[in-house]
Every structure is written in C-alpha cells, then in structure tokens.
Structure 1
Amino acid sequence: MESIKAFFDTYFSWLSMPALTITITDIVEILILAYLVYRLLVWIRNTRAWSLLKGIVFICFFVFLAAVFEMNTIMFIISKGIDVAIMAAIVIFQPELRRALEQIGEKKIFSSLIPFESAKEVKERFSDKTVNELVKGTVEMAKVKTGALIVIEQNTTLAEYERTGIALDSIITSQLLINIFEHNTPLHDGAVIVRGDRIVSATCYLPLSDNMELSKELGTRHRAGVGISEVTDSLTIIVSEETGGVSLAYKGKLTRDVDAQTLRKQLVILQDKTVDTKKFRLWKGRGKNEEKQG
C-alpha cells in the first residue's frame, strides 16, 4: 500500500492543488482542447491507428502496474525505449498522418463547428434501387463469367483503399458495373468501392488474405475479397472469372456459390444497419433539400 501511495504522491500531486478561478479564456481553451481531442479520436477510429491506440492503452496499464510495484528493471527498459517507439509509430503511420493533415487543410472549420443546416436523417445505408442494381449486375456478370470484385463500405472507412484507385463518384447501375468489369476495359482490373448509393472508386488495390484455410483453387480476386473483410467491416461481392460463381466475403469468412436470393438477403441486412444522426440547426426554416409539404 505504501508503494501505491508513493506512486500517487509522485505522479498525481497536481490533484491536490488549491482551487483556481476559472475565466472565460479557460472555458474557451477547454472547448478547443476537447474539440481537438475529439477530432483526434475520430481520426484514430477511422484508420489503422485504432488498433495501435488499444495497444497503447494496454501498455500504459502495464507501465502503471510496473511503477506501482516498483519493477525498476522494466521501468528502466521502458524509459530507454519510449523515444524509439514513438519514432517507429510515426514512421509506420506516416500515410495516415499525412492524410490527416490534408483533411485539416480541406475542412471548413467554422461550418463544422456551427452547422447552419441540419444533416439528412439517414434511414438506410443505401436505397432499394441500389440493392436491385447490385443484384442484377452481379447475376448478369456471373452468367457470362465476368470477374468482379465489389466492396461495400459500412462503418469502417475505405478511404485508404479508395485512394489507390480511380475516382468515379457515380450512381450505381447494373450497366455501369458490367461495363467497368468488362474484360480489356481500362477499369476492369481491381476492385470497385461502393459507399451509399454511389461507386466512389474503381481499380482499387486490396490487401490479400494470409488465411491458410482458404482453398488453393481460389485466386487473387477471392483472397483480396477476404483480405479486405479481415481488416474492415465491409461486405465484398466476388464473381469468379473461371466458374462464374458468386461469393461473399464478410468478417474474414468466405461464402461460396451464393444465389441471387441469398445475395439480396445479405444486402438488405446490410442496408438496415444504420443509425439516424441529427445536427443542431440554427435556421428553423425549410432546408434547401427538403420537399414541400402539401
């Protein structure tokens, strides 16, 4: 108990400081810091740094225990290796850090802090029309054995992989999907990324799965579909170029020989996994995108 008391006396002595007078400047400073911490956590949650953060929390807990029980050898090793660990993290996550700085430069800070218009209340991840077009396009490509790889984004952003391809930002139609994956066309090689009702990018590169349980007869397309499902919560539709069979990859598992009815069922399940979001609205009038009510 004495070691625990000594630890808190050493590292948390600031908690016993006398009460200070809080000014308007202090309140503004707290709000700014809270916003910056929030944006940092949102960025971490949407990148691979989320796994790093969980690891850091675990290590901090371990360091806390080592300090409390006076494990001097472990504390010495940690103190000597902390600088190297920080530099290694910066090098490993350099692409994410660079993109975060780019996003800060692109953001409209004032409008994000005080939104004058309410955000749309999203009732579904994508429309019924999108479900129909995805099913129709997949079935048509399967009939003629056109290889396809369609990744549907859920909560985890696919922006990291989206940037490896060619930006499209097009409404989803079965004809567009068929044209993209038609053999010998400029966009047929790689994956298509779907966000909401739009195809945001084509010819995207995906991570390949290292799962040794996958059948040896499966090619790169199937391994890429499983690979992206292992690192994100996306659903991937795969059409085999050799057999015309349709497969689904989700949470690292591959379901083969899927028919149109099963595909539609999975897409409907995916479509319903949404959370309504609302923003504060200063202007109480009709939004520019709202339809007139009779």
Structure 2
Amino acid sequence: MNIQEILNYIRIRDIVDIFIISVITYNCLKIWRGTRAEQLAKGILVVLILTKLSEWGEFYTLYWLLEKIMTWGIVGVLIIFQPELRRGLEFLGRSSSPFRGGVDTQDVVPTVKEVVDAMGSLSRQKIGALVVFERQTGLNEFVETGTRVDGEVSSGLLINIFIPNTPLHDGAVIIRNNRIVAASCFLPLSDSNSISKELGTRHRAGIGITEKSDCLSVMVSEETGAISVAEQGKISRYVDLDTLTTILSKLYAPRLTNQFKFKLGGEK
C-alpha cells in the first residue's frame, strides 16, 4: 500500500481525532513536566517494556509478576498522581478569564501600584513578606488557616501586616481581585529538591502554593530584601519593581499588556 492509497483512507474526522489526541497529550506533558509524575511515568514505561519483553522471551514467572504489578498498580498510580490529576482537572475547569470574578479595569492600576509600592518598601527595609494572588482556582482552604481581613488593597495595610512582631506578620497574605481576603495564612511547602538551599520556608511556601493551584505569589527576602515571583512551581528571583509592575498588570488585565511577553523561568 503506497502513500496515495493510505491518504485515500484518511477522513476529515480522522484528522480531527488525531489533532484532539495531540492537544490532550501536549497539555498532559505540559502539566507533568518537571514534576514527580514525569519520573514516575518513565518508571511505568520501563515496567511496560519489561512486561512485553518477558512475554516475548517466555519468562513466565517474571511476566506473571509484572502483570500483577501493572494490574494492581492502577490504584497506586491514581494515589501517587493525585496532585497532578487534580491540577489537570483544575486546568480543564478554568475559564479564559484569569479571575473567577470580574475586575474593574479602573481599579487595575491603583491595585498594582499599591502592591508594588508595598513590596518596594518592604524590600528596602528587608522585611520578609509573602503575598499570594488568587486566580481561577479558589484558595478558601488556605484562607481558613489565617485571619480574615477583607480589606481594600493598600500599601500601608500590606506594610503593617508584615511588620515584625505584629499579630499577622507570620504567614501569607491572600489577595482576591482587588481585596486582601486574609493574612497570616499557612501554605504548603514545596518538597522539590531543585530549589536552592539559600531559600527558606517563606520561599518554599510561595512555590508550594503555585504547585497546587494557578495562583501567583510574590515574596520578599528578609535576609537580602530581594523580590521573587513564583508561578506554576517555578520561581524568578531578584525581580525589579518595573518588572513586578508589568507582571501584576498582566495578571489583572492581560489584554492591556499583550505586547509584553514575560515567562517565569530560572529555578524551580
């Protein structure tokens, strides 16, 4: 059968089918890339290859053992891959809007300015801070670990929250749209081995929360005053105020900053 005959058998629906599978595969790889699931998937692939080789080579005992492992391993995969599966389902459930509720574009510039001013002041004073911006995935389970604030975003309020030895300084501030929802919130720490040893629990918490949701976190180091931004489990360190302004503007109003293409990289 030559290529022309093969092409004659291909229908439009076959092309659409292949396209859909390609999109699903690409997004799965994108979600799993750089996570524990990537390494576990490689391990499962090795087991599958060994199972087929043992069948062909008539190693019956080895084949029986590997087949049982694969049969019962499905349950184990669901348990082990639970964070990645949850992340994938959340990805499918998100709308095109970066926030669940609408954001008044008139409030975008003041909100961003207040946050940037606060981060700049805290950075100069070398006061540690961790601010999380909620997007499509709700963070109520983490809001409940802190103290409800429900206040308008302002630089003065943010600075006062993080002043050392005050009741709310220890923990994270969670911002939803244009309001500070809660302060002193406890976040999950990232267990990634690729994070620099220089980074402490504040940065691990800032990275950890972005591994479990689509939020963005901004951290200020109390040792160096450096500002860092984390998204999708990746962190960019030593971010200047101009870059932070652009990131937050894009976060709140992506259509207003389409010309600026900023992608977080660096460490994970």
TM-score category of the 2 structures, normalised to the smaller one? 0.5 to 0.7
Q: Deviations over 1:57-78 (max 9, x none)?
A: xxxxxxxxxxxxxxxx98xx88
1:136 aligned onto 2:120? no
> What is the aligned partner in structure 2 of residue 192 from structure 1?
173
Change (3 A) 1:156 1:130: same
How far apart, CA to CA, are the structure 2 residues paired with 1:160 and 1:176? Answer: 23
Q: Which amino acid aligns with 2:124?
A: K
Aligned-residue offset at 1:214: 1.1
Aligned-residue offset at 1:127: 2.2
1:215 aligned onto 2:196? yes
How far apart, CA to CA, are the structure 1 residues paired with 2:184 and 2:106? Answer: 23
> What is the aligned partner in structure 2 of residue 167 from structure 1?
148
TM-score, length of structure 1 as denominator length:
0.52
> What is the aligned partner in structure 1 of residue 85 from structure 2?
none
1:246 aligned onto 2:227? yes
Q: Deviations over 1:140-194 (max 9, x none)?
A: 0000001000001111111111111011100011000010000000000000000
Q: Which amino acid aligns with 2:207?
A: V
> Secondary structure at 1:127's aligned position in 2?
helix
How far apart, CA to CA, are the structure 2 residues paired with 1:165 and 1:131? Answer: 23
Match of 1:179 among 160, 166, 170: 160
How far apart, CA to CA, are the structure 1 residues paired with 2:128 and 2:211? Answer: 21
CA RMSD of aligned residues (A): 3.6
> Secondary structure at 1:132's aligned position in 2?
helix
> What is the aligned partner in structure 1 of residue 6 from structure 2?
none
> What is the aligned partner in structure 1 of residue 30 from structure 2?
none
How far apart, CA to CA, are the structure 2 residues paired with 1:251 and 1:125? Answer: 28
Aligned-residue offset at 1:126: 5.7
Residues 125, 272 of structure 1: 8 Å contact kept: no
1:266 aligned onto 2:247? yes
Equivalent positions of 1:5-24 (< 5 A) are: none
Q: Which amino acid aligns with 2:237?
A: R
Residues 214, 231 of structure 2: 8 Å contact kept: yes
Larger Rg: 1
Residues 115, 155 of structure 2: 8 Å contact kept: yes
Match of 1:225 among 206, 216, 228: 206
> Secondary structure at 2:229's aligned position in 1?
strand
Aligned-residue offset at 1:124: 4.5
How far apart, CA to CA, are the structure 1 residues paired with 2:253 and 2:243? Answer: 16
What runs of 5+ residues in structure 2 fail to find an aligned partner?
1-66, 83-100, 256-268
Match of 2:183 among 175, 184, 202: 202
Aligned-residue offset at 1:266: 0.1
**Percent pairwise identity:** 48
